[in-house]
Structure formats: structure tokens, C-alpha cells
Chain A
Amino acid sequence: MSNFSFLNPFGVLDEPGTYMGDFYSHNFSKKAKEGTVILNLGPQHPSTHGVLRVLVELYGEYVMRSEPVLGYLHRSHEKMAEHKTAYGFLPNMGRVDYLNAIGWNWAYAASCEQLAGIQVPERAEYLRVISAELNRISSHLVWWGAFVLDLGAFTPILYAFDDREDLCDILQRVTGSRLTMNYFRFGGVGADGDERFFRLIREFIPRMRERLKMYRALVTDNVILRRRLEGIGSMDADMCLRYGATGPILRAAGVRRDVRKAIPYGIYDRFDYEIPVADRCDNFGRYWVRVEEIEQSLRIVEQAVAQIPEGKHIVDKAPKPAWKIPAGESVFSVEGARGEISVHVISDGGKSPYRVKLRAPGFSNLALFAEAAEGTLLADAIATLGSLDLVIPEIDR
């Protein structure tokens, strides 16, 4: 027993520079300083909201430097787009970010419609808005539940999923799926809403408002949550500009930018709603902005359900599955739950699009993390990561 290597199975007790590691940790540890420890946060970790790996260099409990490592969920959606027909790529959009499937559906369908000059009938526009805003509420509920779960509260996530059950049932009535929704078609939507669909929505709205009051009392006004979130994770407007961060992160930094108001698409200019903007750049600002957005989305849905006209849910002579996008280039942005979703399509007029670029808001938002988490405690870095509202499938695509 002269070889005691069984006491040091993965080489973690070796001198720095001699541990096994992999490509990314070797690359990261090139600039390591004296007295620090390099750890992997993930890729299997309940608080990284997906398969995200973050390499952190810790000095005690303080994060000196960090680097997210991506690609564990890369499914090559952009490459698939070049091999599927334009219509056949629509189901992929529901899988890119499954929590905000309608947002991605809209960005891609509208990008192709913009290029081809297809007009969507009014009833379809209203159905699009209703489904998109309900999807935004359900996405924010998942974010809210998972975020406070990261901070240690185990109950609110189950309450959030309780509300989400109602939303999933409502959306399933009209899209056919509870999560990875393939609802939009070129020229409209896939199916019309029936009487029960609208009745369920009308019953859901006041119930959700009561629940929002309960969430405020239980979580938002809770002293522990406030102390953990206030003053931590500063991301100001200049930082957002340098990284291209959009969505609630930008609005919590004081910039009044929402694609629904800045570049009105669909019929969003017919509704009366506000954009919550906070002037504090910390975690609590981002938390507050998203919770307020749920209320604003409820307002939009209420108005849309009251105003929706009769009509068709899809344009006459709608593109069939073998439809070819006319040659050209088109960029279209929508306001997703996480930020600005853009789809950039270049078409050569052939069976498949020539190049589809999916701009995920999470990709730019996560780039902020390294700078924002410098010098914070590890637990605060986790809270900052949660406040970014990341969904790794859209970052990795």
C-alpha cells in the first residue's frame, strides 16, 4: 500500500495545474490567481435552469471570475432549418424555448410572412395576442417559482404550477399541446378558439389576480426575499448596451424598451397596457418587473377577449406544407418573456430556407453574468443567475 492514490481519486488534492479537468477548465485556469479554487457549477445543477455549466474561480466564498460554458443542449436547430421545409421547421420553434413557445412561433412565422407579404386576418391576430400573452404569464410563473426555489423557498413553485395548470389546459384547448406548442401557421394560426376556450380565459383572469395578491403577501413582501435580492447583481443600462441584453433586465435598468411598443407588431397598438420599468438595476428590480408584467399581460388578454371579432383563423389560400419562401432576407423581432427574440431568414426561393438565424435573448443576457457576478458571494451569484431568467435550450439552440 505504498501508493495512496485511492485517497485522491480525481486528482483534486494535487498541486494546481496538474488536475484532470477538461478543455474549458484548462482554458479557464490559465489565468487563475494564488489561493483560489476553481469549481464547476453544473452542468447537472438544479439552480442553473437547464444544462448550464459555469466555471467559477472562488476565493473563499467570493466569486472572483466566472465563465459560463455552453453547448450541452446544442441540437443544431439552425442547421435543421436548412434541411427541412419552411413549414416543417415550425414545430422546431416550439422546442427552441419551450416555456415561451408561442413567442418563437410568432417570430419565425412573422419573419416569413413579412418576406412573402402575407396578411393575417384580424381574428387570427387577436388569437395570436391572446396565446402569446397567456404564454408569457405561464413562462413568468415558471421563472418565479424556480427563482424563489433557488433562494430556498420550496412552496411557491408548487403554487405557481397550480396556476400554470389552468394556463396549460387553456392553451391546450386551442393549440393541442401543453408545452411545446406548434400553433402558428403562415397566414394565421392553426385552430380557432371555441366557446369553452374563451369562457375558461374569462374565469382565469380574476382568479389569477387573486393569486397575484397572495404571491405578493407570501413572497414579494417577505423580509428574507428582500434582503437577499436588494442591492445585489447590478446590471445598469450601459452594461446592457454593451452586451445587447434586452427584456426585463433592460427595463429594470431604467430603459423603457419593449418591442411591443417600440416596433408594434400584430395589433399590440390597440391595447391599453403599461411597461413596468424599475430604476434599480439589482436583482429585486428584475424580480419586480417580471411580476408586474404578469398583471399587464392579464390586462391585454382581458381586452383582447372582449374585442375579438368574428372571422377566419387563417388566411384563405394559406401556404401548404410544401410552400417555398420567396427569395430575400427578413429580420423580425418579438418581445419574448426573456427579451427580444429575433429570427433572421435568408431564402433562395428553394424548398428549404437558405439560412435561419435564431437570436435568443438568453444568449446575450447570459453574457452579462460574468461581469455582474464578479466579487459577489456564491449564493448571491446564484440569485443573480436566477434573476436573468435563463432557459438553456434557447441559448444553446
Chain B
Amino acid sequence: MSTPEAWRDAFKEAGALAVTRPDPAKSGLALSAHMPAGSLVAAAEKLKAGGFSLLFITTADFTEGFLVTYVFDSFTEHLRMALRVLVKDKSCPEVPSLAHVYQGAEWHERESYDFYGVIFTGNPNLVPILLPGDDPIPPPHRKGPDVIASIRKLGFLGEAEWASDGWELAPAPPETKPAAGAKPAAEKPAAGAKPEAKPETEKPAAGAKPEAKPEAEKTAAGAKPAEAGKEEGK
């Protein structure tokens, strides 16, 4: 099973929401499959059985949520593929952990936990890895409301070769009005963390991450009308 088409069918079977084929000459990826959080582990097990290794896990912050990207490649032939999971709830972002399938994922997940606060349920040792564990700071890589971008507007994921109904990351048409192209992702609370994540000016209490929820509700009330106002105004 070593062609992109075969893997596309395998991911469809495993429950993918969409499969895109980005241009390998421009993006370096042959295939990109968007999985719901529940199907991630099954897809990863299929990849491991097929002889693929997890190269890295990276997270990026967008208005729709955190996009967690898992990049795989095989050591015997070259076929670089990405699995993506969109975590919509930023105040309590949870993704199942791959640490039981790929032991190397443990550290990559800890890194995403450090920088974005994404909680990987089932990770055997989810403590900070690069940031100090005994002096926690708010996740520093979250984007502030003036610089955060939208996946749909950027359109960098491209058109899907196959997408299930209601795949919410299809690129937005250029002149869309938010009322017509109802974005289901707009309902969730906006950027749960502090705006311009300045760790030196804010000293949170220990265990800042669970306590971010009441704070998120406070800022969400103020941020949501502002963000909705920005989107309407385009």
C-alpha cells in the first residue's frame, strides 16, 4: 500500500472528514487527511502497520481552532503524508494521544502542550518539556486577536479531493459574505488565552490551564462581539 490513492481510501475508511492532495512540488506533502479526533488513533495504527514513522507533530493557531498536524513518512520509500485534527474548543483543547502507538509522539505532544496548551488525553507524562515545569506561563505561541488568521480565508489547505458533507475547512470563496457562507466554527469561544501572550507581565496562579476557563468566559464576552464585528465588516 504505497500510493497516495491507496492511502486516501484507507483514510476514508478510517473515518476522515476530508482528504486533500496538495501539490508536492510546492508543499512537500503528497496527501493530507483531516480526521475527527476520535478516528486519529485508528488512522495512526494503520500507518504504523504500513511501516510509516511519525516525523513530527506541529500545532498552529487559527480562528477556527488549533490545527494539529501529524507528518508521517516511510523509511523504505518516500511518501510524506499529513494527518490533521482541528481542535475547535480553545478553552479546553483535547486530542487523543498517540503515545501508545508511536512512543516518540510523547515528546512532540508535550511540546504542543507547552506552546499552545493542547491537552493530549492518554499521554503518559504530560508535563512541560521545553518551558519550565515548576513555573508555568500561559501558552506563549497562541496568536493575539489582531494577528490571528483564518484557515478558510488563507485557503492554504486547498480544495479537497474528497470531502464529507459539512467539512468546515474548505477554502472560502474570495468575496464571501459571512451571512451566506455560515461558518460553523464561529460559535465557539474566541481565543481563550490572554491576547498578546506576554508571559513577563502576567503571573498566573499555579495550574493556570484549568483556571483559564472562567477567565476565557470573561474575555470571550468582550472578544466575541469585537471579532464578529471584524468579520462582518469585511
Interface membership of A384, Cβ < 8 A = no
Interface membership of A22, Cβ < 8 A = yes
Which residues of chain B from 108 to 162 have a CB within 8 Å of any chain A CB? 108, 115, 125, 127-134, 140-141, 147, 149, 154-157
User: With contacts A243-B104, A344-B71, A357-B56 known, is A71 near B28, CB below 8 A?
Assistant: no
User: With contacts A23-B134, A241-B51, A243-B104 known, is A355 near B58, CB below 8 A?
Assistant: yes
| Chain A 79-120: CB-based contact to B (< 8 A → 1; otherwise 0) | 100100000000000000000000000000001001101000
The main secondary structure of chain B at its interface with chain A is: loop
Contact among A70, A114, A355, A357 with B25 in the assembled complex (CB-CB below 8 Å): A114
Interface membership of A176, Cβ < 8 A = no
**Which size class do A's interface residues fall under?**
35 or more
Q: Is the CB–CB distance between B29 and A244 below 8 Å?
A: no
Chain B residue contacts of A111, Cβ below 8 A: 28
Interface membership of A122, Cβ < 8 A = no
Chain A residue contacts of B60, Cβ below 8 A: 346, 354-355
User: With contacts A71-B128, A114-B28, A250-B75 known, is A244 near B56, CB below 8 A?
Assistant: yes
**Which size class do B's interface residues fall under?**
35 or more
How many A-B contacts at CB < 8 Å in the complex?
128
Give Cα distance in the complex from A327 to B153, angstroms.
11
CB-based nearest A residue for B101: A242
Chain B residue contacts of A364, Cβ below 8 A: 55-56, 104, 107
User: With contacts A242-B104, A346-B156 known, is A71 near B131, CB below 8 A?
Assistant: yes
Chain B residue contacts of A27, Cβ below 8 A: 125, 127, 133
Chain A residue contacts of B133, Cβ below 8 A: 23-24, 27
Known: A115-B27, A242-B104, A330-B26. 8 other contacts (CB 8 A): A78-B141, A79-B141, A241-B75, A330-B28, A354-B60, A359-B55, A359-B71, A363-B107
Shortest beta-carbon contacts, A-B, top 7 = A23-B134, A243-B104, A331-B28, A357-B58, A23-B133, A359-B56, A244-B104
Between A and B, 10 residue pairs with Cβ closer than 8 Å are A22-B134, A27-B125, A71-B129, A117-B26, A240-B75, A243-B104, A331-B27, A331-B28, A331-B29, A347-B156
